[in-house]
A and B are shown apart, each in its own frame.
Chain A
Amino acid sequence: MERRDFLKNLCIAGASAVGVAAAGEAEAAHEKKEFVSVLVDTTRCIGCRNCEVACATENGLPIPDNKDKTVFDAIREMTPDQWTVVNRFDTDNGEIFVKKQCMHCNQAACSTACLTQAMYKTENGPVIWRANKCMGCRFCMVSCPFVVPKFEYHSANPKIQKCILCYERLEDGGIPACVESCPVDALQFGTRRDMVRIARNRVADFPERYIDHVYGENEVGGTGWLYLSEVPFDQIGFRDDLSHEPVPALTQEFLYAVPVVFLLWPAFLNGMRYMKTEDEEETQIAEIYNPGDES
């Protein structure tokens, strides 16, 4: 661990003046360790919103009143002080309840975007946010394909707020508070490999109950949260036009080009300076002004 950090810092020190590199390697190293995952079976969810209450309690947020059923009248988004929301969708198959929160992407756009590593993909999979590092640029919000990170616009000391997958509970060997609170096992926690397998098995075993699509298995390169559904996902508030390519891959080529440009461009420019043919006429006009050129 220490050795790796040392090497990493060395690389960073070397590359920083130049620009950027080695992003892909770090991501690849992460992949080796198995990420945790939550499987959401929307066919089981009864819309009790216990998870909302559990989340708020765990994270010290204002506790919502889950007896109040009128909240379902409108589709709600997460807010800075509500990291997860359950929405009701009226579909071809009747009412479906869907819990929503940060997807904890395998290759998280938010953490790639973050220039201070405040938004951080941990080795186990949760994407966390660290107040002492964040400078509030909101590039994470621009980059997140699921519009998850929320910003406190009305605070002099604003924070980025989003689900952190009960990171500390997991460290202590626990499971996320929402998963624990679910009375009908609509939420299931485990390694990502296991959750994908369980999801796939359910689709195979009950083809009449599920559509053949595990949301999050491939979207944006795979996400930590996986969803099963009986109707196409665009009917229950998901974007089904997202690419299977990880979002960070979109800037990778550019970032790889940076050190190359940085090494070659100055040499090229300098060479050009000597190759320029002396344009007589031009030289006459203002030769006196070329500072530092000849000495």
Chain B
Amino acid sequence: MSEFQASSSPQIVPMESDSTEPSSPQIGSIGDFLRFLLSEMKPKGKLITPFNVISSIIVAVGLVLIVIRFVYGIGAITNLDQENPWGIWIGFDVVTGVAMAGGAYVMTFIVYILGRKRYHSIVRSVVLNGFLAYLFYAGALMLDLGRPWNIINPIIGNNFGVSSVLFLVAWHFMLYMAAELIEFSPAIAEWLGMKKLRKVLGGLTIASVIFGITLSTLHQSGLGALFLMAESKIHPLWYTEFIPVLFLVSSVFAGLSMVILEGSLSHKVFADRLSKDLHHHHDDITIGLGKICAGAMFVYFFLKVLVLIHGQQWDLLMTGWGAWFLVEFIGFVLIPLALFYRAVQEENVKMVKVAAALALTGIILNRINISVIAFNWFAENPYTPHWAEYWVTATIICLEIWALRWIVNRMPVLGDPPAWARDMDH
């Protein structure tokens, strides 16, 4: 507590008065709080930008589509059918989205468990990105549920289908979102200027990190395990009992590749919000992440080869499906793997980014292959998504970007926390 009191003095005389130093509001009452919130609701920056215009149109149409879906049923705006019950809303939004959000658990592992403090300056934004991805992409699941009102059953324990992998995944989503929110919450407290709360929340970080990593290990692999029972429907080149392990390992580099790309993007977009530290170390960080990606991808590549040898399906490689498999395997696993290695050796930041982009494409391909393309591969009328399915997906992405932008522009995410908060941790 004494620490806490001492910490209020540097706040009055800010140490660095650069633009990244956020000012903490003085909140004494509920009225203050509401007034502060209201003032923060106002958009910052120019309203009419190309991105804003385009995304507004996408969201407006998307909301109409969503209304149509709830009035006329899922079939009204999707091409799902009795043989293909899951389309891209599950295959891309949920299954791929969650893999790409894996950066949060990997980064918290690196920073809080392994103690690599070099990466500390990006942890907050990674956790925030992860949280929003879960909130929006897993939230998109609600659109795909035919009877969403009954989601309450597995939550309140009305009916626990404990033998169901989906039960496990659903619960882990919810718990993990809570863990990520706790990990991020110090930033919220700093934004509100609530020092006591900040202290309490900061103390919860380690516990929620450990909890979060455990949950992630299980549900990243659990997403793969969802497809285990579809053995008779998934093309043998993609079906293996090791899907859960492959999903877990690939979520490591998928998540980090996303962090690399997101990082360089927000570096440009939010240039005025960056901390000095992050600014200086950005290239180092990118190279470092590339190194980890190279390692994880090597393990993934190795496992894939093992699975292939184990399955002894060489003849299948000679078919059209085999060619498609090789596109994924060589073009988007082997090549990005090689690029990561070279980029790290040459300390070439650009090449790391290219490798990350290829690796991410590979993950999208892999998840979509398992859940959509190679699922019911023998079907005479394969499922192709309705344009509205893409549109709704785009809507979700736009909404997520809006939320992200709103938060980054207000809370200390990319920039330094206020001085009082930094002192608190010291």
Write the nearest CB–CB distance from A157 to chain B, whole angstroms.
7
* CB pair B161 A116 closer than 8 Å: yes
Report chain A residues within 8 Å CB of B172. 19
- A119 nearest CB neighbor, chain B only: B161
Which of A59-67, A184-192, A241-249 sits within the interface? Answer: A241-249
Cα separation A270 to B206 with both chains bound (whole Å): 9
Q: How far is the CA of A143 from the CA of B167 in the complex (A)?
A: 14
**Can you name the residue of chain A whose Cβ is closest to the Cβ of B209?**
A269
1/0 contact trace for A1-38 toward B, CB 8 Å?
00000000000110110011111001100000000000
Chain B CB within 8 A of A136 CB? yes
Residues of A within 8 A of B80 (CB): 153
- Known contacts A147-B83, A276-B115, A282-B116; decide if A12 and B145 are in contact (CB<8 Å): no
Taking a contact as CB atoms closer than 8 A, the residue among B71, B83, B160, B424 that contacts A16 in the complex is: B160
Asked if A251 is at the interface of the complex by the 8 Å CB criterion, the answer is yes
B228 at the A/B interface (Cβ < 8 Å)?
yes
Q: Is B75 an interface residue (CB 8 A)?
A: yes
For B113, what are the chain A residues with a Cβ–Cβ distance below 8 Å?
Answer: 269, 272-273, 276
What chain A residues lie within 8 Å of B121 (beta carbons)?
286, 289
Contact between B167 and A135 (Cβ–Cβ < 8 Å)?
no
Q: Which residues of A contact B227 (CB under 8 A)?
A: 142
Cβ contacts under 8 Å, B203 to chain A: 291-292, 295
Indicate with 1 or 0, residue by residue over A124-143, a CB within 8 angstroms of chain B CB atoms.
00000000111111110111
A155 within 8 Å of B (CB atoms): yes
Chain B stretch 92-127: residues in CB contact (< 8 A) with chain A: 109, 112-118, 120-121
| Interchain CB contact (< 8 A) of A248 among B70, B76, B229 | B229
B426 in contact with A152 (CB, 8 Å): no
Cβ of B51 within 8 Å of any chain A Cβ, yes or no, is no
Q: Report A231-250 residues with CB < 8 Å from chain B CB.
A: 239, 241-243, 247-248, 250
CB distance from A209 to the nearest CB of B (A): 29
Query: What residues on A are CB-neighbors of B162 within 8 Å?
Result: 12, 15-16, 20-23
Q: Mark B373-409, 1 if CB is under 8 A from A, else 0.
A: 0000000000000000000000000000000000000
Residue A293 lies at the interface, judged by CB distance under 8 Å to chain B: yes
Closest to B230 in A: A142
Residues from chain B with a CB closer than 8 A to the CB of A145 are 231-233
Q: Which residues of A contact B81 (CB under 8 A)?
A: 153
Cβ-defined contact, A285 with B168, below 8 A: no
B114 and A255: CB pair below 8 A?
Answer: no
A250 touches B85 (CB 8 A): no
Number of A positions contacting B (CB below 8 A): 78
A257 CB to nearest B CB, Å = 9
**What class of interface size applies to chain B in its complex with A?**
35 or more
Contact between chains at A139 and B146 (CB < 8 Å): no
- Say whether, besides A19-B168, A141-B82, A147-B82, A292 and B73 are in contact (CB < 8 Å): no
Beta-carbon contacts under 8 Å, B156-177 to A: 157-168, 170-172
Q: How far is the CB of A204 from chain B (nearest CB, A)?
A: 30
**Structural contact, A291 and B202, CB atoms closer than 8 A:** yes
Decide if A156 touches B72 in the complex (CB within 8 Å). yes
**A94 contacts B by Cβ under 8 Å:** no
A112 and B425 in contact, given A136-B148, A269-B210 (Cβ under 8 angstroms): no
Near B by CB (< 8 A), chain A positions 146-160 give 147, 150-158
| Chain B CB within 8 A of A172 CB | no
A292–B425 Cα distance when bound, in Å, is 6
Q: List 11 A-B contacts (CB under 8 A).
A: A15-B162, A16-B160, A20-B162, A116-B153, A142-B229, A154-B72, A253-B241, A278-B115, A282-B117, A290-B425, A291-B424
A residues lining the B interface (CB < 8 Å): 12-13, 15-16, 19-23, 26-27, 77, 79, 109, 112-118, 132-139, 141-143, 145, 147, 150-158, 239, 241-243, 247-248, 250-251, 253-255, 258, 261-262, 265-266, 269-270, 272-273, 276, 278-279, 282-283, 285-293, 295
Other than A133-B158, A139-B166, A291-B425, give 8 A-B pairs with Cβ distance below 8 A: A21-B162, A135-B148, A136-B150, A143-B230, A147-B83, A251-B165, A265-B214, A282-B118
